[in-house]
């Protein structure tokens, strides 16, 4: 067996959590990530027949039976992942019953997966149903995105439209827009179900006055989606209280989307 600490998927996760912490998006234990892994990428590092512990999921994830995920631990700090991955992360496999997680590696202090696992696994199911290449669900509390929640209308059309106006490339990066959920109790199956419903249509979902969820084919792509929203929200928060002298017009947003050949939410423009 190769040393798992040299596995590319683990190193990518360590770098991503460190970057998110460095950017101030993930204070204390804020944020969580789940990364769908292929058996072939994990098997050189782990004996997949050796289950350390089993943990009930608290919900049913039938279409994920046998799937492997690298998942951040509940209560764990992104700040600490890089120096102690085996305590702060875990690799789980969804058991045949679709209701149990088999722990194959990690959570070595007796810990368990993030309290937001319902939103993660339900979102994985939703994204896989529309994109077979999908692999990552990422939750974070980015500062300006969260600040914007308090001063901007929380509806999908207006929020997406404002974000698209803030940087020329926003409509190209997230042409599908940003889904929005009102404030809801976190850590529940209900917020998981609501997030997954939005994830059929959007790769980004705002949890009102809490944070954001992103989904993508890789850690880099998903990080980039959230990073772009956060940049746009930062520009909004730096300018919202000042007289607006210039703006990107809807006709120009349309030009951008057409030039870059992205399929965008036409109903989010006012043309």
Place of tokens 């959590």: 17
Shortest Å, Cβ 40 to ligand 13P: 28
Nearer residue to ligand 13P within complex by CB, 93 or 139: 139
Shortest Å, Cβ 111 to Zn ion: 17
Nearer residue to ligand 13P within complex by CB, 33 or 253: 33
DSSP 73: B
Closest CA to 219 of 81, 68, 15: 15
Active site residues: 116
Q: Give the footprint of Zn ion on residues 221-250 (CB under 5 A).
A: none
Residue 135, C-beta contacts closer than 8 angstroms, at least 6 positions apart: 35, 36, 216, 217, 218
Q: Give the footprint of Zn ion on residues 183-212 (CB under 5 A).
A: 211
Binder of residue 74, out of ligand 13P, Zn ion, none (CB less than 5 to 8 A by kind): ligand 13P
DSSP 108: T
Nearer residue to ligand 13P within complex by CB, 29 or 123: 29
Backbone φ, ψ for residue 178 (5° rounding):
-120, 125
Binder of residue 75, out of Zn ion, ligand 13P, none (CB less than 5 to 8 A by kind): ligand 13P
Distance CA 113, CA 68 (A): 13
Binder of residue 29, out of Zn ion, ligand 13P, none (CB less than 5 to 8 A by kind): ligand 13P
Where would I find the beta strands (DSSP E) of the chain?
32-37, 53-56, 68-72, 89-94, 100-106, 136-140, 179-181, 204-207, 211-216
- Interaction site with ligand 13P (CB under 6 A): 29-32, 72, 74-75, 114-116, 139, 186
Shortest Å, Cβ 5 to Zn ion: 27
Shortest Å, Cβ 22 to Zn ion: 18
Strand order in the sheet with 211-216: 53-56, 100-106, 89-94, 68-72, 32-37, 136-140, 211-216, 204-207, 179-181
Nearer residue to Zn ion within complex by CB, 62 or 75: 75
Closest CA to 57 of 109, 106, 97: 97
Shortest Å, Cβ 262 to ligand 13P: 30
Distance CA 41, CA 171 (A): 34
Nearer residue to ligand 13P within complex by CB, 116 or 227: 116
Positions that interact with Zn ion (CB under 5 A): 211
């Amino acid at each position: 067996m190769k040393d798992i600490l040299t596995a590319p998927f683990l190193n990518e996760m360590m770098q991503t959590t460190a970057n998110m912490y460095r950017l101030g998006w993930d204070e204390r234990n804020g944020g969580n990530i789940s990364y769908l892994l292929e058996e072939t990428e994990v098997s050189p590092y782990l004996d997949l027949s050796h289950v350390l512990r089993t943990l009930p999921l608290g919900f049913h994830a039938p279409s994920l039976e046998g799937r492997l995920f690298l998942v951040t631990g509940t209560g764990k700090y992104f700040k600490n992942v890089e120096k102690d991955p085996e305590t702060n992360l875990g690799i789980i496999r969804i058991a045949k019953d679709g209701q149990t997680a088999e722990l194959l590696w990690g959570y070595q202090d007796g810990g368990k997966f993030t309290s937001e696992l319902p939103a993660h696994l339900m979102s994985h199911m939703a994204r896989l149903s529309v994109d077979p290449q999908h692999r990552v669900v990422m939750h974070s509390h980015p500062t300006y995105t969260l600040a914007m929640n308090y001063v901007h209308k929380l509806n999908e059309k207006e929020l997406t439209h404002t974000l698209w106006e803030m940087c020329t490339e926003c409509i190209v990066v997230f042409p599908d827009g940003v889904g929005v959920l009102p404030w809801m109790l976190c850590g529940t199956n209900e917020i998981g179900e609501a997030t997954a419903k939005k994830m059929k249509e959007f790769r980004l979902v705002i949890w009102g006055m809490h944070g954001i969820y992103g989904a993508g084919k890789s850690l880099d792509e998903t990080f980039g989606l959230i990073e772009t929203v956060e940049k746009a929200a930062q520009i909004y928060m730096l300018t919202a209280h000042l007289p607006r002298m210039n703006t990107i017009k809807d006709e120009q947003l349309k030009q951008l989307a057409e030039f870059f050949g992205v399929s965008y939410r036409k109903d989010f423009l006012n043309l």
